[in-house]
Amino acid sequence: MASTTSIKQVSRDKARAELRELVIAWATDADTHLATYILELGPERSGAKSRCLCPGCGGPLVAVNNAKTQYKVRPHFRHHQGANYRDCAIVAARMAILRTMTDLGWIDLPARTRSTSIKGLDGRDYEGMASRPAERVRVIRAEFSDCAPAVLHLEDGRQITVLLRGEAAPTDGSPHTGAVVVIEVDDPAVALMDPQQLRERLSLNAGACWHQHWDDAAIIDEATSQARETAIDHLALAPDGLDLPSDMPAELKSETVLHYVVKHILREAGELRTPEDVVYVETESEKRCHSRTWRLPEQHLALSEVELEKRLGLTRPDLVCNATDTAGGHSYPRLCIEVTVSNIISQERYNRIRAVGLPALEIDLRALKGRITRDRLKYLVVTSTYVKKWIYNPVLVQKFLDLEKEVKALASAEDEALEEERAERRRVNALPLQEVAEQYLEKAYRYFLLLQDTGDSWPAAGSTTGMAIAEAREDLSKQANLLAWKGYPGADEEDFLHPRGVLESLLSLKFDRGLTRKLNTGFQVLNALVTGGKGIANELTPLYLAAARAFDVPMTPAQQAIVEQWRGEVIERIKTFKGSYVRSSVYDPLLGALFPELREALPRTTGTHFLSVYQKHQQKLQPPPLEQQPREATRATMAATLAEFRHSMPSWMRSSGFLSGADLESWIEQNPESAKAWGVTSIKDKKRS
């Protein structure tokens, strides 16, 4: 232990030089053999009668000025002339400190700390440290065995040897008790201090350190035990109960220890968290890929009946146990756990594990690098799922088989349905379009008639009318699919089948009666279509008028006159207003297939057709363009006009000064028509404009 002394440190040569200048204030009483301070001597012991000996060399000392109250040289001891007193001051200083320590009756003992280290299997040093605290103990007696050490008898019966060590202090061959405290005393000036100064010095406990302690052996054992526990905690030593061959390589020893500790952690913990796993199955039908996914969630398993390395058939798992899901999930009456430290599980070993038929979980510790403590390892093994995976799980296998069967059934059913659809398409394609269209119109007719009975409210789902409407709608959808296969889609769209839509209106005109409307004749339906809503401006009015003519809707002469009036108004709007009667033509191919009578009328009732009619009519209203004369005739006319103009020009206008200045303004005023013909404008006219 390093000293914390505050005593001045000096070199050997300097200390010896200072010794010659120093005197000694402490000596050994020749009668009592106790340390004696110079001022403790009475007048009768002055001079050579001091009966005091040098604590360093043992020679007699002379007491100087010990009985005087006034003096020039402070009281001290002096050797006789010719005596060798080398290093006596330091020895006297030690004796003075021991005497003062005895007078005080206590000593402050420093703390004792010892450390040691153990080399682990990983080649690293693991340190341990143990200590005893500092304490103040009572001294009841001091024995001076020779000039250097003193034996202090403590109140609790223990003994301690105090070595006051300086440059000349003996360090070997001294009789020591079980405990030795060393106090550094290198300053000879201590030999001059009085008892009060020495007590103050000792109260600071300066320079005291242990050389030997009563409990050194126990402290070393504790430090060694701590170092061993640290190494074991870092898995760098074999724990108790695991014997490793001395010739086993260090790397293999580390793996064996890790393997051993994991198994015992599981056995002691009695619990385990397993990882999530996913079963994914897919198969393809002719049209698409069918897939199913199932997840086995993380599980918290309670372990019981744990057995280490129990042989099961051709395999011997590291651990076999009963695992119960605490949340009520899948439990495993026999769960095998494999701990992987270095070597991966081979295919051959995997097959052996699978042959047993028991669930098997792997704890893969190959990714662990560097130091790891037992607590961290326990977290990874028991709580975390990072290093775990299922090697084999009958639950996952069975779920895979179930999902595989399910997706294969789906793919097979879809392929069969596709084949049936193709057969139906072939059958439908063999049917005439007119037959399919007529069947569709019959079903649509029945469907719209059922809607007439509902009025403004839709019937309840379970009612007779509601069920009839639903059945009719389904039949209509099936027939619409046939039309779609024939190349005419859209017959099943809600807009097309709207109760007041274009199909219902055309069917009402065709069959001369209202279907969803409670009207008795086709004319009444046409009247409702033309006069209702937007009236004559409805974008479908031309189509309905054309349908009434194509279907030859029965009418009286008066009704025919009204229809002709409507036609006239429609024609007038088409000619007058650009963009009149623009309707959607998306259903025109389908309408042409359902109503062959309208095939010619459909393209003539579109906004595009009416725009061309409007443009042609507007062109007729434009005035005819002026007739353009041939270019040669125009040139001849211009030449004649210019010649006539030149002939009428005065002679001054033929000069180079023509069209300039006041003469030009005068000519323009006199010949305004000619100036206008030539495009010549006076300056006054330019300013006005």
For 478, the enclosing helix (H) or strand (E) is: helix 464-485
Cβ atoms of 27 and 226 within 8 Å: the answer is: no
* 591 lies in some domain: yes
> Does any domain span residue 188?
yes
Mean pLDDT throughout 468-473?
A: 90
Q: Backbone dihedral region of 223: left (phi > 0), alpha (psi from -120 to 50 degrees) or beta?
A: alpha
Whether residue 232 is contained in a domain is answered as: no
The reply to whether 214 and 264 lie within a common domain is no
Average pLDDT of span 659-663: 64
Pairing of strands 60-64, 26-29: unpaired
The structure tokens 């037992």 sit at: 374
Q: What is d(CA 496, CA 502) in angstroms, rounded to the nearest whole number?
A: 7
Output the CA–CA distances (angstroms, integers) from residue 602 to 53, 499, 586, 591, in the order listed: 148, 21, 11, 8
Question: Residues 94, 166: contact at Cβ < 8 Å?
Answer: yes
In the chain, the number of structural domains is 4
Report the C-alpha gap between 82 and 55 in whole angstroms: 17
Helix, strand, coil % in the chain, rounded to nearest 5: 45, 20, 35
Confidence class of residue 507 from pLDDT cuts 50, 70 and 90?
A: very high
Predicted confidence band of residue 444 (pLDDT cuts 50, 70, 90): very high
In this predicted structure, the answer to whether residue 4 has a pLDDT above a threshold of 70 is: no
Q: Are 661 and 672 in contact (CB under 8 A)?
A: no
Q: Could you tell me which residue, 644 or 107, shows the higher pLDDT? A: 107
Q: E strands along 7-65, which residues?
A: 26-29, 35-37, 47-53, 60-64
| pLDDT above 50 for 244 | yes
**Residue 49 sits in which domain range?**
14-83
* pLDDT for res 5: 31
The predicted model scores a pTM of: 0.50
Which carries the bigger pLDDT value, residue 37 or residue 446?
446
454 and 379 together in one domain: no
Instruction: Count CA atoms within 13 Å of residue 653 on its CB side.
Output: 15
Q: Which two tokens stand for residue 593?
A: 């297939």
Helix (H, G, I), strand (E, B) or coil at 48: strand
Q: Count CB-CB contacts under 10 A for residue 580.
A: 20
Per-residue pLDDT, 426: 86
Q: How confident is the model at residue 639, as a pLDDT? A: 65
Which residue, of 401, 416, 446, is where some domain finishes? 401
Asked if the structure places residue 242 within a domain, the reply is no
Q: Which of 620, 641, 665 is the last residue of a domain?
A: 620
Q: What is the reported pLDDT for 10?
A: 45
Q: What pLDDT is recorded for position 277? A: 94
Contact assessment for residue 83 and residue 57, using Cβ atoms and an 8 Å cutoff = yes
The pLDDT tens digits for 68-106 are 878 777 888 888 876 556 567 667 776 677 777 677 777
**pLDDT above 50: residue 166:** no
Structure tokens at 510: 């065709």
In this prediction, residue 397 carries a pLDDT of 93
Q: Does residue 527 sit within a domain?
A: yes
Q: Which DSSP string do the residues of 228-270 spell out, in sequence order? A: HHHHHHTT-SPPTT----TTS-HHHHHHHHHHHHHHHHHHHH-
Same domain, 64 and 129: no
Asked whether the predicted pLDDT for residue 385 surpasses 80, the reply is yes
Q: Is residue 292 pLDDT above 50, yes or no?
A: yes
> Above 60 in pLDDT, residue 607?
yes
Contacts 24+ apart (CB under 8 A), 275-282: 275/385, 275/388, 275/389, 275/390, 276/385, 277/389, 277/390, 277/393, 277/396, 279/396, 279/399, 279/400, 279/403, 281/400, 281/403, 281/404, 281/406, 281/407, 282/407
Q: How many Å apart are CA 509 and CA 552, to the nearest integer? A: 9
Residue 621, CA distances (Å) to 75, 565, 575, 579, 618 in order = 152, 23, 11, 18, 5
Write down the pLDDT at residue 374: 87
Same domain for 255 and 215? no
Q: How confident is the model at residue 174 (pLDDT cuts 50, 70, 90)?
A: very low
Strand order in the sheet with 208-212: 106-109, 135-144, 149-154, 159-165, 180-184, 208-212
Instruction: Note whether residue 650 is domain-resident.
Output: no
Same domain, 121 and 194: yes
516 and 574 together in one domain? yes
Give yes or no: residues 69 and 174 share one domain: no
Last residue of a domain, one of 620, 645, 665: 620
Q: Which residues contact 546 (CB under 8 A, 6 or more apart)?
A: 598, 601, 604, 605
Domain co-membership, 50 together with 133: no
Is residue 147 predicted with pLDDT exceeding 70?
no
Digit-coded pLDDT (tens) for 555-592: 999 999 999 999 999 999 999 998 889 999 999 999 99
Calculate the alpha carbon distances from 607 to 282, 547, 574 in Å. Answer: 52, 17, 9
Whether residues 472 and 604 fall in one domain:
yes
Dihedral Cα 588, 593, 596, 601, nearest 10 deg: 10
Cα 350 to Cα 182, 220, 337, 440, 533: the distances in Å are 69, 50, 13, 64, 80
Query: Given this model, what pLDDT does residue 153 score?
Result: 64
Q: Say whether both 79 and 110 belong to one domain.
A: no
Round the average pLDDT of the chain to a whole number and report it: 80
Is 74 found in the same domain as 158? no
Domain assignment present for residue 680? The answer is no
pLDDT for the residue 3: 35
End-to-end CA distance of the chain: give it in Å, rounded. Answer: 119
Give the residue-averaged pLDDT of 175-199. 59
| C-alpha–C-alpha distance, residues 678 and 671, integer Å | 11
Answer yes or no: do 64 and 140 share one domain: no
Q: Does residue 665 sit within a domain?
A: no
**Dihedral sign (CA 212, 217, 222, 226):** positive
Confidence of residue 290 (pLDDT cuts 50, 70, 90): very high
Longest dimension (CA), the chain: 178
611: tokens are: 């725009």
**Coil, strand or helix: which one is 581?**
coil
With 90 as the cut, is the pLDDT of residue 542 above it?
yes
Residue of 436 and 205 predicted with greater confidence: 436
